[in-house]
Amino acid sequence: MKLYPHLFIDGAWTAPVEPRYIDVIDPTTEEAIASVAMGGAADVDKAVAAARAAFADFSNSTIEERIRLIDRIISSYEKRVDKFSEVIAREAGIPRASRAQVYGPIQHMQVARDLLRSYRFVSRLGHAIVRREPIGVCALISPWNWPIQTKVIKLIYGLAAGCTMVAKPSENSPLSSLLLTEVLDEAGVPKGVFNLVNGSGREVGQAMSSHPGVDMVSFTGSTGAGRVVGATAAATVKRVSLELGGKSANLVLPDADLEKAARWNIQRCFFNTGQSCHAPSRLLVHASQVEQILPFLVDEASQFRLGNPLDTATTMGPTVSARQFETIQHHIQGGIDEGARLICGGVGRPEGLTRGYFVKPTVFAEVDPKMKIATEEIFGPVLAVIPYENQDHAIAIANGSIYGLGGYVFTSNRAQGYEVAKELRAGRISFNGAATDSLAPMGGYKQSGIGRSMGVFGLEEYLETKSVYGFQEEAETLPVIHG
Contact (Cβ atoms closer than 8 angstroms) between residue 462 and residue 254 = no
Please, which residues have CB within 8 angstroms of residue 226's CB and are 6 or more apart in sequence? 219, 242, 244, 245, 449
Burial 97-133 (b: 16+ CB within 10 A, else e): bbeebbebbbebbebbbebbeebeebbbeeebbbebb
Q: 10 Å Cβ neighbour count for 64?
A: 10
Nearest to 416 by CA among 204, 203, 298, 254: 254
What 8-state DSSP symbol labels residue 153?
Answer: H
Nearest to 461 by CA among 243, 241, 242, 244: 241
Long-range contacts of 297-301 (CB under 8 A, 24+ apart): 297/262, 297/265, 297/266, 297/343, 297/344, 297/363, 297/383, 297/385, 298/343, 298/344, 298/363, 299/263, 300/262, 300/263, 300/266, 300/267, 301/266, 301/270, 301/344, 301/345, 301/361, 301/362, 301/363, 301/381
Could you tell me which residues are beta bridge partners of residue 89? none
H/E element, 114: helix 100-116
Q: Which of 243, 300, 377, 423 is catalytic?
A: 243
Contact (Cβ atoms closer than 8 angstroms) between residue 187 and residue 73 = yes
Residues comprising the chain, all counted:
483
Q: Where are the alpha helices (DSSP H) in 360-400?
A: 372-375, 391-399
Please, which residues have CB within 8 angstroms of residue 470's CB and are 6 or more apart in sequence? none
Tell me the C-alpha distance between 209 and 201, whole Å.
10
> CA geometry: angle at 245 spanning 244 and 250, to 5°?
130
Indicate if 243 belongs to the active site.
Answer: yes
Nearest to 220 by CA among 457, 442, 422: 442
Tell me the C-alpha distance between 372 and 39, whole Å.
37
In this structure, what is the dihedral angle of CA atoms 296, 298, 303, 305, given to the nearest 10 degrees?
Answer: 160
Indicate if 78 belongs to the active site.
Answer: no
Q: Which of 86, 277, 300, 460 is catalytic?
A: 277
Per-residue CA distances from 371 to 348, 367, 376, 424 (Å)? 21, 7, 9, 21
The residues that are catalytic are 243, 277
